[in-house]
Structure 1
């Protein structure tokens, strides 16, 4: 019996497609080849190459519908039943087309169900501002917990303690972690989160992290403060406010919530500020978290860390003794004053999974005492330093608020106002950094210097250093550039003296007398608070603290060094700043010339 409903026409036809159609209807290759007058091997080859057996069921159904529909449409005399079947077949083809769209990339339920598709056809509701769904909250928490280092898990597990105080190494992700922790808490509990930093600019580091975290789940946070709502809290509950503050007690007094005090060992007037800060978390439901790298034993926060302030005014029998050694606090401990303390050095961080450091390289880069302070959580005794810590912190300001004429993101950050610059090149020691500072000189004799920009360089040859300086100063109206021309600095100076900065570059050649003169000038300026930098610039203060008075190898003269036998200028930021300050006469009254030669 023939499988063909109609004889094969004499005119050309798509034999390959027809053969496939009959195969999908269940006929064998041999019979198909015989009926269509084709070679059996040819049909077998089509079957294998086109993978007829692997075709999805929907393709086979569409083929059957198409052939049947074509047969009915070509029928000259149609009955009522034929028309009903044609209508049915057309609707089935439309349904299969919906299935195709659903299965394609980007398909959705509306492709299958017209009612669902039309459900969103009307005006769409505007997405809630700063709002997290339950699904977004769960995903954000999953991301947060999946990337914690061991020491950060220790902080996470200490959330039950009302007061946490953490002494940490530089750059181990503490600000990053606590920003994420606070965001999770705000979403899940609806509680306010207050971030207190040395300056508004430093506090905005928290904000930038939080905005970035929210984007991970498709939420764009706006506002300052940021008001967050969440399905986990409820529609009728007030928004959780994320508040970012500098160390200005007047702006902090009206807030309440969990508060995070960043780099509290480096702020000026900690005693007064802490009264306001701790007042924000008076209610027992709020948490207080202090975290910082160590500064000096003279800082007002040091007695809080050691617990000795708790003993003030108490009888000896009532006094407490707290062991704040690294060994005691390495894993975190709730102490007798109800404060949970933790110490995390850079070595602890590495052991806890943080592989972001090359510790041996850091040891080469920093003098031993500076490394111990920045990375091993050891406090500095500033009685040995040429500069006093309290004098340095008194020079701090909130640059984002106080300097309205400066915008570092602008093409011309300081407009056409003049600036002075100082450059301390990489020294002879392999680990040394170079530093460039850009400063606003006093607008009148005896006025104040302002540190606008600071950059530390490492691993650049003398030509790259010169090119960097030219590029940075091209954004300013620079009237003076003081460059240490000792060692590598000699080559940097020579390139600058032949380039576009030739008219303003000043050669500085170090000697014992001149180094002492620079330090004395800086001491005078700092002691009188005639210089200002952002309060978050802890690296600047640390750089000055590392400079110590010492005796020369001959034992005959006094000099100033920063801890290395070969690198007198290792405190690069401090020396670069002093290259600027020395352009002003020692009495600070005469207006200096734009350029100068110093020998």
Structure 2
């Protein structure tokens, strides 16, 4: 049985029956039964039960029960003649609890507001209001943010931080090891602490905005909401009259890059078009010795104009033999980072290096199984590709990249109808997706004029889905467009997808079957070569997988050795070049010369 409550000022049993009602309720709220209360207070069982029902003790809110308990205990302590130190401490705590419950009561009453619960909120409008500073970091916020930054560095990122004393850093890296993330954080910390401008240069505006997205997220970790593009940042760590640090996020349109100065970060520089011209402008931003230049990228091909900068060959041009330098750019020489005789600090970070330095984000054995050896070496081993054996020229493909956010004003990627009611074409390539390899869906805007460009609007890898799930996904994606043609490789899993989408009730038009043969593949590759060489295909310059997917297609002999065909490695992002083939399913819907738009779709068998 529960312990009876301490009497207040007198024994409740000596009170008239009617006055024992409140003590009975108090005991009931503390979990006593009718029988226990009746025995304790010398009442009849039915009397207690009747009070409970009529006064609706069970319906009382929890806050009322708490108030009763606090009140009872307070009365006992107040009535106590000889109080101990513990009694006074308990009295003070109980009074604070009563005050808190009173605030809750006011908040829950009609017209209650946040000020009823928090005195600081209630008084925040009192006196002269100080206008909050935009994009401003207090000393405390700056210190906390830097601590977060330093606490999460992998070993190779720490090496990049330790190399800040070098004016020029050039980093060759594996995919997906957090380079963009790191350099966005590094630049933000530098802007806060030094007030220096930071300039981010990428293959496209959309890709450059990845830096901005990271920086906005970092600032929110310490309660700072960053706005603007360019973004202006101030800090308590610098004099209030000092100019704000400017953060610029630029695509590779060099005209937008001129006239600025600061530390610059050149993302994926091995994949940009017109590197020589763009690099002159970029280097000009950091002419003064106080600015730093940072280049970082995954490798592309040895034919890229940036490759001689990496090897040092570009520096040796037009120099006397005695003035030329030799730079060892092997992995063994640059695994830990080293400054060459041209004063450039170079570093190579393969996926194995990243893992050894603490990055546990990968299952390297699984990646080796997914990718062909040459693909793995390029994507994760920092080895350049020799595209001389490819069916498509790397530089032609890179030249097709554009800054879609700036140039495609008639496309709204996030809209319910991204391309309005104008016609689009789509291509789907299953590529053995039943075995776990990628399938790919691409959506493109066909040329608006004769000889115009195909614009790639969307691309979607479909991995690990059965044919029904893939068909459902394709229908959902195309519902947002006026799709008049969908070319499907109808072999393997593609046959099931084609049958589902070709049904009259699928809601799709122009669903076209493509059944592969040596002649069909040759026709598609020829059409794509013709289109790409003439710059008649356009996509966001940040879509590096489009370029690598086409480059991975190589001319080879059939098993018999009598015929030529086109093949690519297995698995992964480029595996089977599924993205390139899905694009070619679109291009083949136009005549080879591109001089006349077709009046109907065609079926290739």
Counterpart-to-counterpart distance in 1, 2:430 and 2:8: 92
Unaligned runs of 5+ in 2: 1-6, 24-39, 43-69, 82-87, 105-114
Are residues 320 and 430 of structure 1, via their aligned partners in 2, closer, same or farther at CA, if it must alter by over 3 Å? Answer: farther
1:168 counterpart residue number = 173
1:460 counterpart residue number = 465
**Selected match of 1:514 from 493, 513, 520:** 520
Deviations 1:449-497 (A, max 9, x none): 1011111121111111111111110100001000111111111111111
Deviations 1:273-320 (A, max 9, x none): 001001111111111110101011011100110111111122222211
Counterpart-to-counterpart distance in 1, 2:237 and 2:100: 35
1:358 aligns to 2:363 (yes or no): yes
Are residues 384 and 119 of structure 1, via their aligned partners in 2, closer, same or farther at CA, if it must alter by over 3 Å? Answer: closer
Counterpart-to-counterpart distance in 1, 2:588 and 2:71: 84
Q: CA deviation at 1:357?
A: 1.9
1:415 counterpart residue number = 420
**Selected match of 1:524 from 518, 527, 530:** 530
**Selected match of 1:185 from 185, 190, 193:** 190
User: Alignment partner of 1:235: what SS?
Assistant: coil
2:441 counterpart residue number = 436
Q: CA deviation at 1:222?
A: 0.8
2:506 counterpart residue number = 500
Q: CA deviation at 1:60?
A: 11
Is the 1:424–1:569 Cα contact (8 Å) retained in structure 2? no
Is the 1:364–1:431 Cα contact (8 Å) retained in structure 2? no
Counterpart-to-counterpart distance in 1, 2:153 and 2:582: 38
Q: CA deviation at 1:7?
A: 9.7
Deviations 1:388-443 (A, max 9, x none): 11111111111001000101100100011110000111327835211110000011
**Selected match of 1:406 from 396, 402, 411:** 411
1:296 counterpart residue number = 301
Counterpart-to-counterpart distance in 2, 1:292 and 1:151: 15
Q: How many residues align?
A: 536
Q: 1:206-245, aligned counterparts within 5 Å?
A: 206-245=211-250
1:578 counterpart residue number = 584
1:491 counterpart residue number = 496
Counterpart-to-counterpart distance in 2, 1:347 and 1:436: 32
Are residues 556 and 237 of structure 1, via their aligned partners in 2, closer, same or farther at CA, if it must alter by over 3 Å? Answer: same
Q: CA deviation at 1:593?
A: 3.2
Counterpart-to-counterpart distance in 1, 2:454 and 2:533: 13
Name which of structure 1's ranges 389-398 and 308-317 shifts more when overlaid on structure 2. Answer: 308-317
Are residues 218 and 339 of structure 1, via their aligned partners in 2, closer, same or farther at CA, if it must alter by over 3 Å? Answer: same
Are residues 489 and 119 of structure 1, via their aligned partners in 2, closer, same or farther at CA, if it must alter by over 3 Å? Answer: closer
Counterpart-to-counterpart distance in 1, 2:490 and 2:497: 7
1:26 counterpart residue number = none
1:330 aligns to 2:322 (yes or no): no
Are residues 516 and 288 of structure 1, via their aligned partners in 2, closer, same or farther at CA, if it must alter by over 3 Å? Answer: same
Q: 1:274-289, aligned counterparts within 5 Å?
A: 274-289=279-294
Counterpart-to-counterpart distance in 1, 2:10 and 2:592: 112
1:84 counterpart residue number = none
User: Alignment partner of 1:232: what SS?
Assistant: coil
Q: CA deviation at 1:353?
A: 2.1
Unaligned runs of 5+ in 1: 18-35, 39-57, 70-88
Counterpart-to-counterpart distance in 2, 1:533 and 1:10: 90
Q: CA deviation at 1:216?
A: 1.2
2:552 counterpart residue number = 546
Is the 2:475–2:508 Cα contact (8 Å) retained in structure 1? no
